């Protein structure tokens, strides 16, 4: 009975491993950066899914062993995606950042102060600078190109998921 519950909660336990490792890497090795801490957490949570499957003793009847592991890995990856999107939401969504600034300003902010903080040109420059720094973009003769193929693959996967879920919007 305990093994069945362990199998049931396997993806959530593995997600907890992902989150814990990600927090530890981000705080103990700040130079690693956010993206590397996410990838390290994801990489540590994935073996956790497999180890828990072995320890809990996958169901052995009718060839369900592989199916149970595959389902747990897929659920884990989807939960990891949700975890990542939730963390990035507070950093990339402008309206959330504006709301956070307003909450931290008891006397409020004027429109001029908000415009000063969120200059569109400055935001684009900062993002481009960050993408170039992490080699996710490459600049040649004033033109920008995709750099790191891993980031490009992530962007393509996100776009594919958006198309699957939201359609052509």
Q: What is the pLDDT along the chain (169 residues), one digit of tens a residue?
A: 677 788 889 999 999 999 999 999 989 998 888 888 889 999 999 999 988 888 877 655 455 667 788 889 999 999 998 888 888 776 667 777 888 888 999 899 898 888 888 878 888 888 888 888 888 888 999 898 888 777 778 778 877 877 777 666 5
Please report how the helices 64-92 and 2-28 are oriented relative to each other, as an axis angle in degrees rounded to 10.
Answer: 40
What's the pLDDT score for residue 88?
A: 78
Token digits of residue 132: 């170039």
Token digits of residue 60: 């052995």
Residues 137 and 89 in one domain: no
Residues 22 and 72 in one domain: yes
**Residue 45 falls within a domain, yes or no?**
yes
Angle at 30 between CA 48 and CA 16, to 5 degrees: 25
Strand partners, 3: none
What's the pLDDT score for residue 107?
A: 92
Q: The tokens 């093994």 sit on which residue?
A: 3
**Residue 87 falls within a domain, yes or no?**
yes
Last residue of one domain, picked from the residues 42, 70, 93: 93
Strand partners, 146: 137
User: 67 lies in which domain range?
Assistant: 2-93
Q: Kindly report the pTM of this predicted structure.
A: 0.62
**Residue 105 falls within a domain, yes or no?**
no
Residues 26 and 87 in one domain: yes
What's the pLDDT score for residue 146?
A: 83
Residues 87 and 137 in one domain: no
What's the pLDDT score for residue 25?
A: 93
Residues 74 and 135 in one domain: no
Q: The tokens 């990489």 sit on which residue?
A: 43
What's the pLDDT score for residue 10?
A: 92
Residue pair 146/134 in contact (Cβ under 8 Å)? The answer is no
What's the pLDDT score for residue 30?
A: 85
Residues 89 and 133 in one domain: no
What's the pLDDT score for residue 1?
A: 66
**Residue 119 falls within a domain, yes or no?**
no
Last residue of one domain, picked from the residues 41, 72, 93: 93
Determine the 3-state secondary structure of 84 from DSSP: helix
Number of compact structural domains in the chain = 2
């Amino acid at each position: 009975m305990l093994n069945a519950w362990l199998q049931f909660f396997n993806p959530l336990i593995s997600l907890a491993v992902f989150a814990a490792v990600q927090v530890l890497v981000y705080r103990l090795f700040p130079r690693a950066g956010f993206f590397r801490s996410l990838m390290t957490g994801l990489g540590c949570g994935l073996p956790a899914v497999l180890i828990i499957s072995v320890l809990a003793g996958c169901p052995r009847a009718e060839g369900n062993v592989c199916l149970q592991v595959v389902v747990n890995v897929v659920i884990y990856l989807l939960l990891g995606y949700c975890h990542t999107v939730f963390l990035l939401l507070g950093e990339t969504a402008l309206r959330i950042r504006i709301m956070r600034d307003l909450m931290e300003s008891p006397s409020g902010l004027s429109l001029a102060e908000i415009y000063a903080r969120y200059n569109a040109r400055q935001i684009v420059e900062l993002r481009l600078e960050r993408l170039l720094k992490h080699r996710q973009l490459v600049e040649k003769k004033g033109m920008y190109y995709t750099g790191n193929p891993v980031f490009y693959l992530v962007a393509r996967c996100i776009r594919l998921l958006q198309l699957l879920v939201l359609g052509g919007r």
